[in-house]
Structure formats: structure tokens, C-alpha cells
A and B are shown apart, each in its own frame.
Chain A
Amino acid sequence: MGFAMGLGLALLQLPGTKAVYRYVSVAYIEFVRNTPFIVQLFFVAFGLPLLLKYQWPFEASALLAMTLNFSAYFAEVIRAGMDAVKQGQYEASESLSLTRRQSIFHVILPQALANVWPSLSSQFVFLFLTTGLISEIGVEDLTWSGRFVADRTFRDFEVFIVITILYVLMAFIFLGGFNLLKRFIFPWWGKK
């Protein structure tokens, strides 16, 4: 979800879109990237339900906060990727009389994503490592269960070591997964 929204935000910044959209998307990205995730999370989990007078489950808050948070980071990375695509590519797709949408989705975006794939994956792992914070609002994730066990056994050290190892393993698996995906999505990459 974060990826989809990030993609949308990045597309809003393409040259040729209305300046208003561009400013809104830049302002959003900068604000999210310059405030801690935990503040955003608490605002979504405790502030919004009060404001809207409607209490949704904490899992939903966590999901919403993570989407908002991830999207800004992904948008920034994808935008960097699109900046790196050469101007000639835009002109070439124009000369082939592709529509704007066609040129973005068939020409620009695949190259942009392939360009930034490594930073996209490391960004993802970095964000993944911060997700333990959602245990703070009572979502029963890995960190939450770790604290649950630690509080009952008083063996904090051993429990946290185990949880840490699990996180490290998952980070490793994600990185490997991203590498596999890369070969799958961009089979033409690196064959030149």
C-alpha cells in the first residue's frame, strides 16, 4: 500500500503536472520524512479517533500510519529514479506519439524503478525495522509478543536476543527476496 501511494506521490512530481499538485506532494513528503514515525503513529492511533469520534481497531491505525509513512520515503526514492531517467527518453516516447500515460508507464517508470531498486529495497528493510513500534499502540506483532513473554518470565535479555535474531533473519530474507524480484521484474536489466 505504501508503495502504491508513494508511486502516486512521485508521479505527481513529474514535470508537466500542475504546480499545485507538485507543491502538495513535496510538502507532504517533507513533513513525513522530517518527523518521527512514532509521533505520526500516535497521532493516527489516538488523535484521529478522538477527532472523528470513531474508534477503529489499532491494527487499522497501524496500517494507516505505516502507509502514510512508507509512502513518503518510497516517493522520494522513486522520484530520484525518475530524475535519473534521461531527458531523451521523454522526447523519444513523445516522438513515437505515445500518450503521456503510455510514456510514463511503459517507458519512464520501468527504467526509474530499475535504477533505484537497490535503494528501494534497503529503504524497505530500514522501514521494516521500525515497524516494531506498532506494538506500542497494542498491535500484537513480534515486538509485542516479545515484551509479553519478557514481562512474564523476567528473562528480558534472552527474549530480546531471540526476537532480535528473528528480525535480523527477516531483514535478510527481505533483501534476498528483493534481489530475486529484481531478476523477475526487470529481466532486461544488466544484460546490456
Chain B
Amino acid sequence: MTEVLQWAFGSFYGNMIGILLNATQWTIYLSVTAFIGGGLIGLLFTILKIVPFKWMQWLATGYIWLFQSIPLLMLLFLVGLGIPAFFHVDVPPWLAAGISLTLFTSAYMSEVWRGSIESVPLGQWEGGKALGLTFMQILTSIIAPQALRVAIPPTVGFMVQVIKGTSMAYIIDYNDLMRWGKKMANSQLDGAEPYIVYPIVALIYFALCFPLSQWSKSMERRISKN
């Protein structure tokens, strides 16, 4: 792959873009980890938020509110620097970044999903109850399929936020695209000036995010047409 890049952009820029693209894979891994982890925890709190027990709802509300109000940067500092210093444990950067982004993602995801579940008319719940179904049965077989349609566009849209969020992980020395971009921009090489490197980095992020956000938009339009 590096050969192709070198052929296309000259050996210097080919190498540079090769290194950046290589670092991009770590950005993608982190995004996917955060998305899956955040999705699972988010799902848990979405369910807690709608079960008919008051204290569980409060717990979920508190969790969502808390992690929506904490800056991602602070989460990274707390998990990546604070916890290791306080408990004298070693937390590798990828783990700290993964945990922080998972917490961040889960709070927003459960908010989105709760919204889409609430968009299903209440009569659907009552209908399920009238058929003698249990809470979980109603949720999984009646409500979830309907809510899913509404939920997918904002979920995909939020993936863009997650990808952009991973760029902050370089602060705790996670080796992603941003960190390599910064390393290069700080190097003294001719041709690797910040005003060249950062636009390239931006373009790579753009290439990751733009298809997702367009996809989300087009699905949204299709749903609102129906």
C-alpha cells in the first residue's frame, strides 16, 4: 500500500500519508470499541429508564445526566491519569480511552434510544398488555422493532461524534491518527509543516465521518417522508 501511495504522492508525502493511514486503524478500532461498549451499556440504561420501577428510572436518569455533563476530556484525564495516580494501578492508554469513550457514548446513546422508544405511541404498550404479554415481551417484540426505525439515523449520526471524540485520546498517549499527525507536525522536516499535516489529518477524519453523516441524513429524510 505504501508503494501505491508513494507512486501517487511522491515518496515523502506517500510515506507520510501511509503512516497516517496506518494510525487511522487505531482510531477506527477505538471508535468501534466505544460504539459497541457504549451501545451495550446505553441499551442497559435505556431499559432501566423505561421499566416501571421508580428507583431504576432515577438511577438511569442520573447516569445519563452525569455523563452527558462531564466533558469527555475530563473523563479521559480521570480514567487515564487520575485513577492510575490515585489507586497506584497501571491503566494502559487504550483501556483508559476505551472506558472513557464507552461511558461518553453510552450516556448519549441511551438518551437517543429512550427518545425513539417514546416516539412509539402509548397505545402499542397498552395493546401488548391487553394481549397478556410481559414487559420484556412487549418491549422486544412490539416496541423495539418500531423504535429501531426511528433510532437508526441518530445512532449513525452519533457515530460521527464518537469518531471525532477519539481524537482526544491522544492526550493520554493513545497512538491514533491525531497523535501521529501531531508528531509529524511537530517534526522539523520540510514539508511536514502544521499547515500541511493538519489538513491531511482533517481530510482523513472527514473521509471517515462524512459518509456516515450523509447516510444518517438520507435515512432521516426517508423516514420523515413516510
Contacts and interface: CB of A to CB of B under 8 A. Distances in A.
Contact of B202 (A39, A133, A136): A39
Given A30-B210, A143-B73, A38 B185 contact: no
B67 to A, nearest CB: 10
A171 B66 CA distance: 11
A43 B202 CA distance: 9
Nearest to B210: A34
Contacts of B210: 30, 34
A33 B163 CA distance: 12
B171 interface: yes
B78 A35 contact: no
Majority-rule SS of B interface residues: helix
**Interface size classification for chain A:** 35 or more
Contact of A156 (B72, B77, B165): B77
Interface in A148-171: 150, 154-161, 163-164, 167-168, 171
A159 B78 CA distance: 9
Given A129-B69, A133-B168, A171-B69, A38 B85 contact: no
Given A46-B198, A132-B73, A164-B78, A38 B86 contact: no
A160 B206 contact: no
Given A42-B182, A51-B195, A160-B74, A168 B69 contact: yes
A127 to B, nearest CB: 11
Contact of B69 (A43, A47, A167): A167
A89 interface: no
A53 to B, nearest CB: 11
A44 to B, nearest CB: 9
A36 interface: yes
B194 interface: yes
B69 A48 contact: no
Contacts of B185: 42, 46-47
B71 A130 contact: yes
A46 B205 CA distance: 19
B70 A167 contact: yes
- 5 closest residue pairs by CB, A with B: A47-B195, A157-B86, A36-B167, A157-B82, A34-B209
Given A157-B82, A157-B85, 19 more contacts: A30-B213, A34-B209, A34-B210, A36-B164, A37-B164, A39-B181, A43-B199, A43-B202, A46-B185, A46-B195, A48-B195, A125-B69, A129-B71, A133-B168, A143-B73, A150-B81, A160-B82, A164-B74, A167-B71
